[in-house]
Amino acid sequence: MDIDKLFKIEVPKLPAGYKRKMPDNPTPDMLKRMKLDSEAPTESPTRTTVEDVDEDMEDGTTDFAPGGDADYFAEEDDEGRFFGGGLTTEQKDILNIFEKAGGEGVQDDPGELDITAIRRVLLRFERAANKNQDQRSKYPDDPTRFIDSEADLDAAIKALLPLAQAPVLSYTELVKSGAVSQLVGLLSHENADIAIDVVEVIHELTDEDVGDEEEEEATADALKILIEALLANSILELLVENMKRFNEAEESDRQGVFHILGIFENVLAFNPSLSEYLVSKTNIMAWLLNRMKAKVFDENRGYSAEILSILLQDSTLNRAKFGEENGVEIALEILSQYRRKDPANADETEFMENTFDALCSALNEPSIKKLFLDAEGPDLMVLMLKEKLLSRSRAIKTLDYALSGPTGAPACQTFIEALGLKTLFSVLMGKSTKKQKASEAHASEDTSHTLGILASLFSNIDSDAPERMRLLIKFVENNYEKVDKLLDIRESAKVRLKATEAEIAADKQALEDEGEKDEEGMFEEDALYLRRLSGGLYTLQTVDYILAWIIMEDDGIRTHALQMLARKSQTLDDVVKTLQVYHDNVDEAEEELPEGGMTRKSILEGLIGALGQAPS
């Protein structure tokens, strides 16, 4: 058995960061003073001390023990055979620290934690923190006087990790004892490695998967108590300050940044509304954007994009801040590298997709659409469409967001001027890359966003503009093949919707048979409408919206479309019925209209009237 290897597994090494506080060029006298008590001379004449080693090495007469084992020569039997411990001096020092602390860093079975054990761990942590603070204040210029207390503090902080396995018992005690306040205070510790220890512990304690699944409700309450206590101690502000303090060129600091990003994710999952507080009270937005600009991809760069995407999901204020921090320009600069090449691996692919998602979320705001247009975003997206790489699907989605709504009209104009129609219709007709064909989900998503772009083009391009004529001609060419494609998509959407309606009916019947009430509101009108939208109704509405425009504007398309509908036992009335449902469910709270713009609801009223039936 490899005892040395076994020991390394059971007892973690101390962080290497203590060298941060050491002078650049320590003197020989200082090195001698730094030896621990366990290395001092003892009654045994054979024990090797630091001074002995130094003197022997100066004479060149002695080679130190294999593996750096300080007891290699001391452990001999009567016949002179040695039995070295297999432990280096550093490992022996670590073991001494654990022994002095009472073994609080070792927890064989987290399930054995009771309130007494928790209080004992918290008391040791409090004592270690107070002792280190006292030693540092007494000897601020002499690291040799407080390095022992710093090692004890390091072990005491790590001993808090097992508390995450018993949150119901430990989190209330953490808050009540004042340990949370003391723990957060250590984020400002002079030794960055202590701050990194704290970050790791808080990341573990705030993880949504802590505790036992059988106590899910009680665990959620305990987690709420802990997170609220952390927030009361300005945890978010201190974490952002530490992100600027850490040097990611060092592995320990890089891990520290990773854990901080993990804490942000945990806290935002617990309470999404905190995203606006985080952005408004700290400079996290600028930090994330700057971190994403790094040329070399790594885990923290990818994590930064994920956190940014979360921050922009549902917050108008955060999106505005994104624009103020030049986020649109930075996002486009990052994404431009994927115009001619695919991401190197799955992690980088996720980074690219999160950056696209963040941009799409921001494009819900009219101000961001203008910044996107000024930064030539539509042109870049069109170039990505032409390259047919992995970025193509995300570019289609981004264009759907950028061109939507009345404020998307300028981007619609630019899109057509950039010759985007040809590539867009190739996507509609199913001329995708091999990678996209292998994924039905991507193909379906591409079709949905392509239809969204076409609907926006018809809504926003003036009826007498040359660009609108170019759009309409696309549906006439090649014997109306694109009209046929629309009708094929329509038929598939109707089949999906019919299956969804059957599922809803079956679920309702099952609920009635069991005599239960609809406590979750699954069968309320709004919930059912959303279910139908995702089950084919959205696609059906968008296709019929486009069909209504082209049927109204071109007699040849009208004649061909009616013939094809008749083959499916459908008429123009079926299209009108779909538009009527669409009209009745359009949200009235639409974005501010530009001069001369029309809401989607008013456009639908006009289309229904033009097709021969006024809105009810």
Give pLDDT, residue 592: 61
Name the 3-class secondary structure at 76. Answer: strand
Give pLDDT, residue 110: 45
Tokens at 346, concatenated: 């799955």
Give pLDDT, residue 586: 86
Residue whose tokens read 């696309």:
474
Tokens at 413, concatenated: 């104009």
Q: Which residues pair with 76 in a beta bridge?
A: 82
210: how many CB neighbours lie within 10 A of its CB? 21
**Dist. CA 201–CA 230, nearest whole Å:** 12
Name the 3-class secondary structure at 593. Answer: coil
**Dist. CA 258–CA 200, nearest whole Å:** 9
Give pLDDT, residue 146: 87
**Dist. CA 295–CA 391, nearest whole Å:** 18
Residue whose tokens read 């700057």:
290
Q: How far is CA 207 from the centre of its chain?
A: 14
Tokens at 541, concatenated: 């509405």
Give pLDDT, residue 514: 78
**Dist. CA 503–CA 499, nearest whole Å:** 6
Q: What are the residue boundaries of the structural domains of the chain, listed by start?
A: 3-98, 103-271, 500-589+597-610
* SS3 letters across 516-576: CCCCCCCCCHHHHHHHHHHHHHHHHHHHHHHHHHHHHHCHHHHHHHHHHHHHCCCCHHHHH
Angle among Cα 149, 92, 246 to the nearest 5 degrees reads: 50
8 Å CB contact between 73 and 131: no
**pTM for this one?**
0.78
231: how many CB neighbours lie within 10 A of its CB? 16
Longest dimension (CA), the chain: 111
**Dist. CA 425–CA 421, nearest whole Å:** 6
**Dist. CA 445–CA 422, nearest whole Å:** 19
Q: Which residues pair with 82 in a beta bridge?
A: 76
pLDDT digits (tens, 9 = 90+) for 580-609: 999 999 876 555 666 666 888 889 999 999
Grouped pLDDT means (10 residues each) for the chain, 616 residues: 38 37 43 43 41 43 46 45 50 54 45 83 95 89 86 94 92 94 94 94 91 80 94 95 92 95 95 95 96 93 97 96 97 96 95 97 96 97 92 96 94 95 92 52 82 96 93 94 96 95 89 74 84 94 96 94 93 94 80 69 90 57
Calculate the dihedral angle through the C-alpha atoms of 421, 422, 427, 428, rounding to the nearest 10 degrees: 70
Cβ neighbourhood burial of 214 (10 Å; 0-12, 13-18, 19+): exposed
Alpha carbon distances (Å) from 298 to 248, 346, 559: 11, 12, 57
Give pLDDT, residue 113: 78
